[in-house]
Amino acid sequence: MASLTRTLNRRVDSSTTPLKQGTPMNVIIQRLNGLWHLIVGSCQIRTPFLETQDRALVVAYARRVYPGAKIFERD
């Protein structure tokens, strides 16, 4: 029981956890209402970047948060 509790309480670091090889994740970067958004599956996630900031900064952020994902840019 104690080992199960340790397993459940263990934190998973997304920067060291690779994606499964057979399931590539798609991340779409889009400007909306003055902010950059990441669209992952059916979820729309606001980023801390304003629309006026460089798109390359947002792409670097998406690559760090979702390593191994395909990044698509949409206007």
Q: What proportions of the chain, in percent to the nearest 5, are helix, strand and coil?
A: 25, 35, 40
pTM above 0.75, yes or no: no
With contact defined as beta carbons under 8 Å apart, do 50 and 34 qualify? Answer: yes
Tokens of 30: 């889009």
Residue 55 has pLDDT above 70, yes or no: yes
Q: What whole-number distance in Å separates Cα of residue 4 and Cα of residue 60?
A: 36
Of the two residues 4 and 31, the one the predictor is more confident about is 31
Residue 19 has pLDDT above 60, yes or no: no
Residue 23 has pLDDT above 50, yes or no: yes
Total domains in the chain come to 1
CA atoms within 13 A on the CB side of 29: 23
Q: What whole-number distance in Å separates Cα of residue 34 and Cα of residue 17?
A: 32
